[in-house]
Amino acid sequence: MNRFYKSGIILGLSFMVIFIGFIYLNADYDGFRGQQLQWDANEQELLGSHAMDQVLAEDLAMTTSMFISQLSFQLSRWADQDVSDQTLYDKFIEELQEHPHFNSFALLEDNEITMAVGEIHEDRIHELDLQNKTRVFSRPYQLGGKQFMLMKEQLDDGRNVVGEIDLTFVASYVKDIASVADESGHFFISGGDHTEAEWTTTKELPDSIAAQTVPELDWQIVVHSEEDEDVQEFYERQAVVKFINEQQGLDWINRTEDISIFEDSSPYYVIESQTLSAEELLRELEANENTELAEPNFIITKQTRAQVTVPNDEFFGPYQWNLSQISAESGWNFSGGAEDVIIAIIDTGVDPNHQDLQGKVLEGFNAFDGSNRSDDEHGHGTHVAGIAAALTNNVTGIAGVAWENLILPIKVLDANGEGTSFEVARGVRWAVDHGADVINMSLGDYHSSLILHDAIKYADRNNVVLIAASGNDNTRRPMYPARYPEVLTVGAVSEGRHRAFFSNYGKHIDVAAPGEHIPSLFPNNNYVIMSGTSMAAPHVAGLAGLLLAVDPTLSNQDVYDIIKGSSIDLGRRGRDPFYGFGEINVAEALRMVR
């Protein structure tokens, strides 16, 4: 099956209720490794991987800044608690002990500890000097094999609060995509072998390395991508088939020596042989008059002045430029969505327990094992789902495009963001059969899959709105499913409506949406910033959900026409290969159906 690419970036840091980072998506620019861009050498000059790495570094630095903001809020909130009440004090102790990032807390008056919870390191506290600043940090230090740092903040009444922060999450999240240096330039978090083998301080970094400063900490986030390795495009000894007469096909498999069913998802089957190659299996199938469709089992991997309604979500104002740019606030005066219009997220799964998705996630489907276990082990799908339809106006976290619409999670990509065209096709059909009105596909591959296209056409015949990310390789070479005519294909733009440099282009691009530095959800109540066409697509899926909430009688083609017809024309006049019909406009689209 085909190799699918998500369109976003995954890097980041997280905190109790907030974290912002990047996510790695293959083939579309979202990816945990900042993988090197693949360019069409016949059509454009090579920019190299540095530009993509720089976007990753920027996302990670922005995530860290957001992380610090959340920690500051938490310290101030704890400092305001009336701990003279034993009940409140006990609740505070319990809350601190359950906090995943704060190890201890202290309240200072005249530089002396008046209250401490947890084991606070007093010697390190006295090394901190506010120096007319409201907030200072210690250098990271190691205790018991873990990295910590102190954060000290001055309150309006002159008191100081100090929190000891466990940086384990930062180290585990960075993994092998990046390394982090403190304000002295020394690396304290190493992403893989790079810093250990080559660099001790940031002074030793080559010019080709992408880095970004975190202003609040003076940390340097250094992203180091690796050369792309040759990847297996399909599974050897397997093929995917759809028979004209299903029973006759199954009978043929049963009586054919050395061919067995590896995956059964009627009407699609993955067959396997112990001795025949994929090519030989396909020749066997092509010779069978009962074969309707047959192809290799391609590998797929993951791929961001009217009256206005301003939600009270904490990150909306400071971070969600993307929603203002598409006139979402004005659009919400017409509709916030409807629970009976379901948006399916075909991706890595969705975290149903995230605080910004509570009560919004339906029982989903796992296309790998056929179960309902659609949890997200990667993070990309949760981020995509949040953009489309996070809980909104609930004070916490972010706002989603479609406030009220429910989410149907379909897990077709694994913990590494990989799957096959068989899983994606299986997931699409399952979503159609279980009530999906809109399907978002922030994934892609450069192989056209007969099986996947068959599933796409099945969804189209059933009047389901199909949204796909264009890809993140800055090439006119089309990805699939984005290239299929039944799908609305979405490119990415930056703040200010310039085409994102990574966004794929071509005659198949229908519209554009924000895709750079997009904040959204991440598993375990975290928040991350990602970039990619994976982030752009769910903006459009959310808009489709709003349109169907206003007028459920619209056909999928009606929805496509409204979205394209209401878009803000960018680039050359009329449709062009970079922006399609332009950037989506939520307010204008909804105005057209009122």
Active site residues: 347, 380, 534
Question: For tokens 């990310």, what's the residue?
Answer: 469
Degrees (nearest 5) of the Cα angle 449, 30, 187?
Answer: 145
State the number of CA atoms in the 13 A half-sphere of 308 facing the CB: 12
Which residue(s) pair with 237 in the sheet?
A: none
Query: Which CA distances in Å does 327 have to 309, 489, 490?
Result: 10, 20, 17
Among the listed residues 196, 108, 194, 188, the one whose alpha carbon sits nearest the alpha carbon of residue 151: 108
Whether 548 and 554 have beta carbons less than 8 Å apart is answered as yes
Token readout for 363 is 């029982």
* 125 membership: H or E segment, kind and range: helix 122-125
CA distance 463 to 548: 12
CA distance 327 to 308: 9
Degrees (nearest 5) of the Cα angle 359, 363, 365?
Answer: 145
**Region of 447 on the Ramachandran plot (φ > 0 left; ψ -120 to 50 alpha; else beta):** beta
Question: Which ranges constitute the DSSP H helices of 365-416?
Answer: 380-389
Burial class (CB in 10 A: 0-12, 13-18, 19+), 422: buried
Going 446 to 447 to 453 to 456, the CA torsion angle's sign is negative
